[in-house]
Chains A and B, each alone.
Chain A
Amino acid sequence: MSPLLAGLLLTLCPAGAADLTLGGGGAWLETISSADLESGPGSDLVDSRTSLADQASLDVWNTGGATWQVVVSRTDAHWPTGARLWARRTSAGTGCDPVSGGEAFQEVFALDQVLFSGTDDCLGITVQLRLTGLSLDIAPDAYLTAVAYRVE
């Protein structure tokens, strides 16, 4: 193999090109109804809803012992104005040393945001989601967004 091809191979397939697998609760389905009024008729909706602590479980593997970070973003298919989505890491998983960051809720935007980082393969890092900005101003409908977790 020529030095040129060897260099290209290392560039395109770096040892640290880790993989990420999503497990846990998977999709988060929330239903808003009159039961979510803060104190019955005359009051607005409770502003926020929080998912299970382990709504998502992320496995980061094939890291080759390298340092990595998980970034998060979202793509709205149909999303209500004023509603905001947040994510946080709720466990450190197993096998990695160490995992850091992401313990406080941070808002998920269309652009990548670093959620947390770590070193080496790491299994079962749990993530919790939160919705805020819920109100009666949101018309009855089904809303959908896709949250993307990416390891780099």
Chain B
Amino acid sequence: MESKTFEIPIGPVHPALKEQIRFTFQVEGERIVGVDIKPGFAHRGIEFMGMHRNLVQVLYLAERICGICSISHPIALIQAVENAAGIEVPPRAQYIRVIVAELERIHSHLLWAGVAAHELGFDTLLHLTWKVREKVLDILEELTGNRVNYAIPIYGGVRRDIAAEQYPRVQDMIRYYRGLFEELCDRFLNDASVEARTRDVGVLEPEEAEELCAVGPTARASGLRKDVRQDWPYLVYGDLGVKAITPEDYGLETRGDVYDRIVVRLLEVGQSLSIIERCLEEMPEGEITSIPKIPALLAQLKKAEGEGIGRHEAPRGEVIHYVRLEAGVEAPVVWKVKAPTYSNLLSWYPMFEDQEIADIPIVAASIDPCICCMDRVHLVRGGRKELVWKEELLKLSWEKTKRIAGHGLRITGANDERA
């Protein structure tokens, strides 16, 4: 029989995806023979906004590029600005930045592991993973005041110190996860159904990973020892001797499939625990910021002239920010943000090749995509090329609420609801 190709659109909004992106699959029977990927549905124009605000405002904006990586983008941005403006950072502040960044990595990897289990239809494992993830979120809340959007880094240091009485609670968390670690690895890596769904699925060959410039766990699971913390030391990562993790470190042969991506992320949770432990031991006493007063900081930044680059290994891979400052201008003249998913986008093409339709959710999830990170401007309505503005969306949302709740309902603003 003659084979016929069909087109299956998935997204921009689809139950198999956590965020808005459109995949258009070409399939022959159950087999995927081609894919086209269209991001941009969550583009908010953050870089454009940033180039019209002062640098302290930009910092808060950078934190909101992504809810999960809410310290990764600020760390890259402050390094770029400190580099451009020549601002020094006290040693203690560097350690605190690393501690919060590694806590974020633990919570992000556990979040991903839960999502991956869910995409495999293994919801018991999702609930288990997300239950244990609460511990690190509690510690983040304890240290920073928030579960996400920690507002910890500021140009020249950090905004909050870690008090002596908080150390035991962090150490308690490290013990808690160490105790769980083997069980977690066992549940994920020795489970027959997880293995059946992930082994040799969504393979990315090392050569492909290299030439498509994949980053983070996606690249490492394909055997590339690529980790910004190791390759290009920044903050105190050089002192800590961080090494990139590949499946070989777990005694496995690297195959570059979804299973390997689970291995790498789980091992990195253990690595982050060790990094935090060492930071707590080695962290010196002292100042936490070199310019404590915000007006003084803004004045210094306004005078600064130059350009700088900041990089950070976010949970999903390399984040890079390029900033250009001009004297007398409060806003950065150029602010370019690159999130990890932006680099991993092209890796999806070889991964989907020759897979089955049922594997689409887990292969899509396996790079740990963060679409809102990658997209940063306006919005469109699917294949119909028209712009939908905020006012229309709000109107639609009001209409829907009215429809559900009946007429006569007083709809208050989001702020009122929270209060």
Same complex = no
Residues of A bordering B, CB below 8 Å: none
